[in-house]
Amino acid sequence: MSRKRKRRLGGFFLLLLLIAAVAGAWLWQRYTSFADAPLSGIEAGESVLVERGDSLPAVVRKLREAGVREGDLLEWRALAKQLDAAGKLQVGEYALTPGTSPRQLLLAMRDGKVIHHRFTLVEGWNIRELRAALAKAKPLKQEAGTLDDAALMKALGQPGQHPEGRFLPETYLYTGGDSDLDVLKRAHVAMAKALAGAWQRRSADSVLKSPEDMLILASIVEKETGIASERPRIAGLFERRLKIGMRLQTDPTVIYGIGASYDGNIRKSHLLTDTPYNTYTRAGLPPTPIAMPGSDALHAVARPASGEDLYFVAVGDGSGRHLFARTLAEHQANVRSYLQNYRRATQASSAQ
């Protein structure tokens, strides 16, 4: 090959290298501009849901549907590979905050920095109230609405178990894609753990024969008072009644037995109508819990206060507090005091 031809080929290859370098620089600039530029086409409050089985192309399609136009699939793949996010996007809901870059979004998806929502299970709710609240929780997926209580417990892996009292009142975090069953499973595990702990801590002379008995009594204590300091005292009072064979005579169990037809007023006819939950007509504990007891109620039943009280009645002043008595005569005097306080509070309320 002539020297002249060699010079021409050398110049040609040099030109190719220059073109490649320029092209590479342009591609790199485009890539870095894509990776770190704020995403456009999104507004505050928007999000994208990564579901089980979603691949990167599926996630990019969802971003397109949300209004994101930056980057082609090749650029998203390259960025995912660079960030070690390829195949590692975690399930959940992610915020599409204005100003977020593709790099920040993929890092969030790789590290599982999902949006968390809160569901609070309130102390004293019964299973009807819990299910009604779950049905209103957004964006929680609804899977339990068509299930009756028996089917619900089967879906939770607890076939044959009564649902009342089985879910611990707490605030539970969930993310988009989670269902009401997911929340219930966590609440069920939490209650099982709390009950087991309370049973292990119970007083040596406890009259309760099983963790089930403890859960039932804790649910009654939960419904009888919202005053934390009163719970151990009421728990001790009920324990003494059980020991001597005295009926519990507690209104919340009667109300639970009335069910959804309860209109807010408990009448003498209710107290006289025998049901499995009427502790005025039947001795011992009712057959199931009547509500979801919180940790404080469980602790109160595990470690009830000592004393001689056998009776209690509301003060009647709207405070939620109670008057306690050792004898029936003392109790009857407290009932008269309650009625006087109740009348005064009602008259004051009517005068306003």
Q: Over 79-124, what HEC string results?
A: HHHHCCCCCCCCCEEEECCCCCCHHHHHHHHHHCCCCCEEEECCCC
Cα–Cα–Cα angle for 87, 92, 93, rounded to 5 degrees: 120
Angle at 104 (CA atoms; ends 103, 107), nearest 5 degrees: 85
Calpha distance 17→22 (Å, rounded): 9
Closest to 68 measured CA to CA, from 27, 111, 97, 107: 97
Q: How many CB atoms lie within 10 A of CB 31?
A: 16
Burial code (b: 16+ CB inside 10 Å, e: under 16) for 249-281 equals ebebbbbbbbeeeeeeeeeeebeeeebebbbbb
What is the fold of 37-115?
Dna Ligase; domain 1 (3.30.1490)
pLDDT in tens, the chain (352 residues): 555 555 555 554 554 454 444 444 444 455 567 888 888 888 878 899 999 899 999 999 999 998 888 888 888 999 999 999 988 999 999 999 888 999 999 999 999 999 999 999 999 999 999 999 999 998 999 999 999 999 999 999 999 999 999 999 999 999 988 999 999 999 999 999 999 999 999 999 999 999 999 999 999 999 999 999 999 999 999 999 999 999 999 999 999 999 888 888 889 999 999 999 999 999 999 999 999 999 999 999 999 999 999 999 999 888 889 999 999 999 999 999 988 888 887 776 666 6
Check if the beta carbon of residue 219 is closer than 8 Å to that of residue 285. no
SS3 37: coil
Tell me if 167 sits within 8 A of 191, measured CB to CB. Answer: yes
Please report, for the chain, the start and end positions of each structural domain, with discontinuous segments joined by +. Answer: 37-115, 117-194, 206-351
